[in-house]
Structure 1
Amino acid sequence: MYSKKLYSKEKLLIISFFVFITFVLIWISLISGNNGIAFEDTFKIFNQEETFSIIFQKIRVPRTLAAFFVGAALGLSGAMMQAVLKNPLASPFTLGISQASAFGASFAIIVLQAYSSTTSYEAGFITALFAFLTSMISTLLIISLGKKGNMSPESLILFGVALGAFFSAFTMLLQYFAEDTDAAATLFWTFGDLSKANNSSIFLISTVLILSLLFYFKIFWKFDALMLGEDSAKSLGINTSKLRFSSMIIASLLSAVSVCFFGIIGFIGLIAPHIVRLLIGNSHKFILPLSALSGGILLLLADIVSRTVLLPVIIPVGIITSMIGAPLFLYFLYVRRT
């Protein structure tokens, strides 16, 4: 009984630490600008100085919220994929779903000329729709091959890497034949950039994230059962095929809404769940929400680095996450082989 209480206190302490770090990084992000991290801007936030107020409300707040919600969406998406595929290397990036979303967005911009013939709202909707549709194609391919081909978790990851390369090749092909303006627009998808944050994109991503969390809170125990094996899960009355399909669809939606607005931001969905498992164990009651929180923390941190490491140059955040995530991905591969 005593050890159980102690274990609960440790988990509460870890959760409190995650929340504390989140608020600290949000604060640092809000006071980061062209001159780096300016702690004196903390006091300006509460003043009504007109110029700073415009910069704060129109640029810093949307970018900070976008970093948190996009990171949280990718973190939750990765946790779900790793759970239903029973593969710790699964994520929207490693399975090629992010690259498929980017291809769909590029197709809408270059081929359909979404931004030249419609309003910005309609263009954003069309782009998001095609990003989602292509991510669904990628997801359905992964699910069907995993089921019909009886592929191992490692083989699914290799298939995802190949699928991502396939979609990336077609994205580059579209860019090669595109007009300069369209090619430049799609190039930002491959970089991953948070500067395009606005109220509508933040609202959509946060809404999808919250609804996904509410859905998963109701069925988190099914993922714990699935970890024990297909037969054990089925003995508890769980339709594993339905669980895997619905979870992959929602995880892909989380990835698609992020990619369609901000481009490919790699490795957040891979790393965030691993950090949580390392600190708090394998219970999906904690893995799901904390993976979202961890993803938000990682992307907030990456965005702060991207804005301050080479002042006054702002590096696209996708470059930072890939530079950090790629070595960690290789490390996880090495650990699984040894």
Structure 2
Amino acid sequence: MSKKTILGLSMRYVSNKQTTSLSIFFIILILTLIIAFSNGSFDFSFLSLLKGETNSLENTIFFEIRIPRVILACLVGTSLAISGACLQGLFRNPLADPGLIGVSAGAALGASIIIVFGSTIFSKFILSTFLLPLAACFGSGVVIFLLFLLTKGFGYQGITYMLLVGIAINAIASVGIGILTFISTESELRGLTFWTMGSFGGITWPLLIPAILIIITSLIFLMPMLRDLDILQLGESEASSLGVDVQRLKYRIIFTSAATVGASVALSGMIGFVGLVVPHLVRLIAGVNHSYVIIGSALIGSSLMVFADLLARTLIQPAELPVGLITSAIGSPFFLWLIFRINKV
């Protein structure tokens, strides 16, 4: 058998494995969505919902509370996982995460300011319903502006310098959140603590629809960059010699990831480990080709987030756990395993 034939069979095997993996990921997502739609404080029969055999109270709960909540969990999981996969590819760093460049911390600081001071300063603001997500998006935007300014257009001293700036921004934001926590009242502290741990409760269609548009538009914008991300793994100089505009690629991925993460954090709060864990899990199963990694990350990220939210709202009914606690409990053991695996390589 010739080398060309062996290579062709090998490539076909890899392609079939990736296609099979994505199909399994999709089935897992569908099953997770069905379970999440059917279970909660009120349990529904999914067949009864499809047949319309539910009363008005059940319809209200399902269409006005549960559907927006599950859709938001699905979108947030997708956006965090895809942003993590893209940033890991851009930085060529397996520990890269949407929170690493400070975007999540900036959004959290903006939202924390509103939680503590919003009721007194902005009580008559015409868009008071949207004040918290607007403040979170503004906070993430400020971080991106500072990152752009301090790294001189994301080009100064390379990617390592950008990561260090992101770490510094994270530290500054943490100080701000700590001060706000210290001066907050009991009720403000409760809201601040719960929001910084992540939650999908209280989401409504007017808040959800803008987030859907921002996140989906950003994800579509990311898709044409996947081939360039694969080439970038050879190194910046090699990628440039092969025709990749590395600087433009940095702009697009960082701004788009910031938009998706900012919109997600604005509505769900701080949720960790999804952007770090999911892309690695997909690479272990489906390979390193970014076309498969991105699609697989979207499917597994949304499944994981919907499942985490299901656990958060059903484990200790009628109370509710923060989603961030669930994702941290799932992701932290994997993170430790990843560190040990990297040290052995």
TM-score past 0.5 threshold: yes
Report the secondary structure of 1:148's partner residue.
coil
Report the secondary structure of 2:123's partner residue.
helix
Q: Which of 299, 322, 329 is the equivalent residue of 2:328?
A: 322
Give 2:178's aligned residue: 172
Equivalent residue letter for 2:13: L
Structure 2 residue 131 is the aligned partner of structure 1 residue 126? no
Q: Which of 8, 23, 29 is the equivalent residue of 2:15?
A: 8
Compared with structure 1, are the counterparts of its residues 332 and 138 closer, same or farther at alpha carbon in structure 2 (3 Å cutoff)? farther
Whether the 8 Å contact between 2:215 and 2:263 is mirrored in structure 1 is: no
Q: Shift of the alpha carbon at 1:214?
A: 2.0
Compared with structure 1, are the counterparts of its residues 122 and 316 closer, same or farther at alpha carbon in structure 2 (3 Å cutoff)? closer
- Distance across 2 between alignment mates of 1:72 and 1:231: 31
Q: Shift of the alpha carbon at 1:4?
A: 3.3
| Structure 1 residues 178-201: Cα deviation after superposition (integer angstroms, max 9, x where no partner) | 344444433332110111222133
Q: Which of 296, 306, 316 is the equivalent residue of 1:300?
A: 306
Whether the 8 Å contact between 1:100 and 1:168 is mirrored in structure 2 is: no
Whether the 8 Å contact between 2:73 and 2:306 is mirrored in structure 1 is: yes
Residue segments in structure 1 that go unaligned for 5+ positions in a row: none
Structure 2 residue 57 is the aligned partner of structure 1 residue 87? no
| Structure 1 residues 44-67: Cα deviation after superposition (integer angstroms, max 9, x where no partner) | 313141111111112211111111
Q: Which of 248, 258, 267 is the equivalent residue of 1:261?
A: 267
CA RMSD of aligned residues (A): 2.6
Equivalent residue letter for 1:16: S
Q: Shift of the alpha carbon at 1:166?
A: 3.1
| Structure 1 residues 78-137: Cα deviation after superposition (integer angstroms, max 9, x where no partner) | 111111111111112344431221002222443455752223345246324423324425
| Structure 1 residues 249-280: Cα deviation after superposition (integer angstroms, max 9, x where no partner) | 11111111111111001111111111111111
Q: Which of 20, 31, 39 is the equivalent residue of 2:38?
A: 31
Whether the 8 Å contact between 2:22 and 2:295 is mirrored in structure 1 is: no
Whether the 8 Å contact between 1:103 and 1:134 is mirrored in structure 2 is: no
Equivalent residue letter for 2:220: L
- Distance across 2 between alignment mates of 1:293 and 1:135: 28
Q: Shift of the alpha carbon at 1:13?
A: 1.3
Equivalent residue letter for 1:44: S
Q: Which of 19, 22, 26 is the equivalent residue of 1:19?
A: 26
- Distance across 1 between alignment mates of 2:146 and 2:266: 15
Compared with structure 1, are the counterparts of its residues 176 and 272 closer, same or farther at alpha carbon in structure 2 (3 Å cutoff)? same
Equivalent residue letter for 1:22: L
Compared with structure 1, are the counterparts of its residues 187 and 144 closer, same or farther at alpha carbon in structure 2 (3 Å cutoff)? farther
Residue segments in structure 2 that go unaligned for 5+ positions in a row: 1-7
Equivalent residue letter for 1:136: I
- Distance across 1 between alignment mates of 2:196 and 2:109: 10
- Distance across 1 between alignment mates of 2:146 and 2:281: 27
- Distance across 2 between alignment mates of 1:298 and 1:142: 35
Compared with structure 1, are the counterparts of its residues 217 and 227 closer, same or farther at alpha carbon in structure 2 (3 Å cutoff)? same
How do residues 1-338 of structure 1 correspond to structure 2 at under 5 angstroms?
Answer: 1-34=8-41, 38=43, 41-45=45-49, 46=51, 47-111=53-117, 113=119, 116-118=123-125, 119-124=127-132, 126-137=134-145, 139-140=147-148, 147-150=155-158, 152=160, 160-161=166-167, 163-338=169-344
Equivalent residue letter for 1:274: H
Compared with structure 1, are the counterparts of its residues 94 and 111 closer, same or farther at alpha carbon in structure 2 (3 Å cutoff)? same
Compared with structure 1, are the counterparts of its residues 108 and 314 closer, same or farther at alpha carbon in structure 2 (3 Å cutoff)? closer
Compared with structure 1, are the counterparts of its residues 181 and 134 closer, same or farther at alpha carbon in structure 2 (3 Å cutoff)? farther
- Distance across 2 between alignment mates of 1:52 and 1:18: 30
- Distance across 2 between alignment mates of 1:151 and 1:61: 40
Compared with structure 1, are the counterparts of its residues 319 and 250 closer, same or farther at alpha carbon in structure 2 (3 Å cutoff)? same
Alignment TM-score, normalising by the size of structure 2:
0.87
- Distance across 1 between alignment mates of 2:159 and 2:87: 15
Equivalent residue letter for 2:36: S
- Distance across 1 between alignment mates of 2:154 and 2:247: 11
- Distance across 2 between alignment mates of 1:143 and 1:332: 29
Q: Shift of the alpha carbon at 1:68?
A: 0.3
